[in-house]
Amino acid sequence: MYYVCKRLEISSAHALSLSYESKCEDLHGHNWIVKIYCKSESLNEDGMVTDFTHIKKKISGALDHKNLNQVFDFNPTAENMARWICDNTPNAYRVEVWESENNMAAYEIQGK
């Protein structure tokens, strides 16, 4: 099995829709750290699991310097973002989304 990990730094803003009162309901920004883990039993014709440049273009291109409420049709929590990134990255099986040094959400596909 081959494994790769791509780390991205993404600056973006969001406002959360919550069932309780919170300052996070107001538009605010983060300098996100995103770690995307990919794996494959075989390498593609270029000798890669997934091209790091393609990951950056697709994910950073969609999210960097954006209002995430205008990008997604769901509540842009770190958990929901992790799932979306995993679903939109070839060969991804785990994604970590760090919204600060101390706060991380992860999504992992079990059995993949």
pLDDT in tens, 52-106: 999 999 999 999 999 999 999 999 999 999 999 999 999 999 999 999 999 999 9
pLDDT in tens, 3-47: 999 999 999 999 999 999 999 899 999 999 999 999 999 999 999
Predicted TM-score (pTM) of the model is: 0.94
Please state, in angstroms and rounded to a whole number, the distance separating the CA atoms of residues 50 and 13.
Answer: 28
Exposure string (b/e) for 32-50, b if CB count within 10 Å is 16 or more? bbbbbbbbbeeeeeeeebb
Listed by start position, the domains of the chain span: 2-108
Give the bridge partners for 5, in sequence order.
37
Handedness of CA 15, 66, 28, 87 (dihedral sign): positive
**What is the fold, at CATH topology level, of the domain defined by 2-108?**
Tetrahydropterin Synthase; Chain A (3.30.479)
